[in-house]
Amino acid sequence: MDLSLSTRTVGDRTVVEVGGEIDVYTAPKLREQLVELVNDGNHHLVVDMERVDFLDSTGLGVLVGGLKRVRAQEGSLRLVCNQERILKIFRITGLTKVFPIHESVDEAIAATD
């Protein structure tokens, strides 16, 4: 399965809905999308990963890169994920301490730190 990406705006938040597999082949597409959004002035991102089937370290690297970019603009990057097998990758790499991870898009949109 390939990677699917769609974006929508809710208030000052931009929700990026990601589906499929994020790996060494598809991660560059996600990187391009995040870079484009930040360059276009969208500095508060919510990455919805509920429909992601697979995530590897290349994907983690892209998300960390996205976080660095929005933080440079005093923005935020929040993740939405309930899937244990995806959350496990964040835990073993210690990235649960780096990303705010929410259970729903609504919760992520409402969050203000």
Partner 1 sequence: MATVELRFSASPEHVRTARLVAAAVARRAGVHESVLDELRLAVGEACSRAVGLHAVHGLTSPVRVMLTEGEKSFSIEVGDDAPSGVPAPRDQSAAEAAEETDELGLAVISGLVDDVEVISDAYGGKIRMSWPTATASLS
**Residues in touch with partner 1 (CB under 8 A):** 21, 23-25, 54, 56-58, 60-61, 85, 89, 92-93
Q: Give the shortest CB-38-to-partner 1 separation in angstroms.
A: 17
* Closest distance to partner 1 from the beta carbon of 109 (Å): 28
Specify whether the CB–CB gap between 80 and 110 falls below 8 A: no
DSSP output for 25-59: TTHHHHHHHHHHHHHTT--EEEEEEEEEEEE-HHH
CA distance 50 to 109: 15
- The nearest distance, CB 106 to partner 1, in angstroms, is 28
